[in-house]
């Protein structure tokens, strides 16, 4: 008789992980890389995204402060990434024929041809693929427990990174005396990089694209440099899949004058020779930024014309 090494239930599949725990592991392996990728974009000091996330800063955690970077997101990402590598090594110890795969990943990481987020996605994909094989090993229960903890911690940090208001939650949570649906109504927000929205109140999960209209009302006026604009739009719009490609297009639009630049204005004064007195002369400072709504209109216009060409 075999018992599940994760939940101790008797298994019927001949493996040391029952069907339920196996499905749990699959779900974790699917969402963990998404949380990871989203949080990795907000690592302090990472090029492109500059400022640390305020809630992420560890001011005093009651521990000796020498460990870690002092940034909760960075530390958690490091720990998750290290844990996944450690489990991958354990798997390779038991399944030596997989050594070459792991070596290739390690080499790519060292050559920096893959990012840490890509490496994490790759590892999770690998674990998912060899889950049946893992389910026969004596550490499979511990593996699921550990993975689950890492996933939970990444999930807990996710709301700390900036998001946009995505409207009131429409989930039906009950019925009133007249039988009319009572909706949850809690405010939800889209997290850039995630394709879904989870309600913090009732836990209902919906597609980010279904919230697009509401998000746009909130985000239209957002001013940003081309790169963060591209990142945000790719997360929201299904038809855009590549940040670098959209980044290039946004810069082209800007060069052609299709996108109106916005500069920060600093109030200055200058001498007006004709009027022979000092006048207010506001000057532009800093790099041009562009409005999210303007960029999105161009993206959606291109999508529509692409669809029309496909039809005709």
| Residues making contact with Zn ion (CB under 5 A) | 4, 6-7, 9, 18, 21, 169, 171, 184, 186, 199, 201-202, 204
The conformation of residue 289, written as its DSSP 8-state character, comes to E
Q: Count the Cβ atoms, other than its own, within 10 Å of residue 241.
A: 9
What does each C-alpha distance from 287 to 245, 256, 264, 265 come to in angstroms?
21, 17, 8, 11
Q: Which residue's CB is nearer to Zn ion, number 120 or number 140?
A: 140
Q: Which residue's CB is nearer to Zn ion, number 10 or number 276?
A: 10
Q: Which residue's CB is nearer to Zn ion, number 181 or number 265?
A: 181
Q: Smallest distance, Å, CB 126 to Zn ion? A: 22
Which H helix or E strand runs over 25? Answer: helix 19-40
How far apart are the C-alpha atoms of 209 and 196, rounded to whole Å? 8
Give me 265's structure tokens: 């204005």
Q: Smallest distance, Å, CB 258 to Zn ion? A: 39
Q: Which residue's CB is nearer to Zn ion, number 19 or number 248?
A: 19
**Helix/strand/coil percentages in the chain, nearest 5:** 50, 15, 35
Q: Which residue's CB is nearer to Zn ion, number 169 or number 250?
A: 169
Q: Smallest distance, Å, CB 166 to Zn ion? A: 11
Q: Smallest distance, Å, CB 181 to Zn ion? A: 13
Pairing of strands 262-266, 283-291: antiparallel
Pairing of strands 205-207, 196-198: antiparallel
Helix (H, G, I), strand (E, B) or coil at 236: helix
Q: Smallest distance, Å, CB 219 to Zn ion? A: 21
Q: Smallest distance, Å, CB 14 to Zn ion? A: 14
Q: Which residue's CB is nearer to Zn ion, number 89 or number 145?
A: 145
């Amino acid at each position: 008789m075999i018992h599940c090494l994760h939940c101790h239930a008797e298994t019927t599949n001949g493996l040391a992980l029952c069907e339920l725990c196996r499905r749990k592991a699959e779900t974790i392996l699917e969402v963990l890389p998404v949380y990871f990728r989203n949080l990795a974009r907000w690592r302090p000091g990472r090029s492109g995204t500059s400022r640390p996330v305020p809630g992420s800063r560890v001011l005093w955690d009651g521990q000796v402060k020498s460990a870690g970077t002092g940034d909760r997101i960075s530390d958690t990402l490091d720990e998750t990434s290290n844990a996944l590598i450690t489990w991958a090594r354990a798997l390779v110890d038991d399944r030596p024929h997989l050594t070459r795969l792991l070596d290739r990943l390690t080499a790519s990481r060292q050559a920096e041809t893959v990012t840490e987020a890509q490496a994490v996605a790759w590892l999770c994909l690998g674990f998912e693929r060899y889950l049946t094989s893992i389910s026969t090993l004596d550490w499979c229960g511990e593996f699921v427990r550990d993975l689950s903890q890492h996933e939970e911690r990444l999930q807990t940090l996710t709301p700390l990174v900036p998001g946009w208001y995505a409207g009131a939650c429409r989930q039906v949570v009950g019925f009133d005396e007249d039988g009319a649906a009572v909706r949850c109504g809690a405010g939800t927000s889209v997290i850039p990089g995630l394709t879904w929205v989870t309600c913090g109140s009732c836990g209902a999960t919906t597609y980010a694209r279904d919230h697009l209209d509401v998000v746009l009302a909130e985000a239209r006026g957002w001013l940003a440099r081309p790169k963060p604009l591209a990142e945000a739009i790719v997360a929201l719009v299904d038809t855009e899949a590549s940040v670098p490609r959209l980044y290039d297009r946004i810069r082209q639009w800007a060069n052609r004058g299709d996108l109106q630049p916005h500069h920060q204005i600093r109030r200055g004064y200058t001498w007006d020779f004709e009027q022979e007195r000092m006048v207010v002369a506001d000057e532009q400072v800093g790099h041009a930024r562009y409005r999210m709504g303007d960029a999105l209109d161009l993206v959606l216009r291109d999508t529509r014309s692409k669809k029309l060409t496909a039809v005709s």
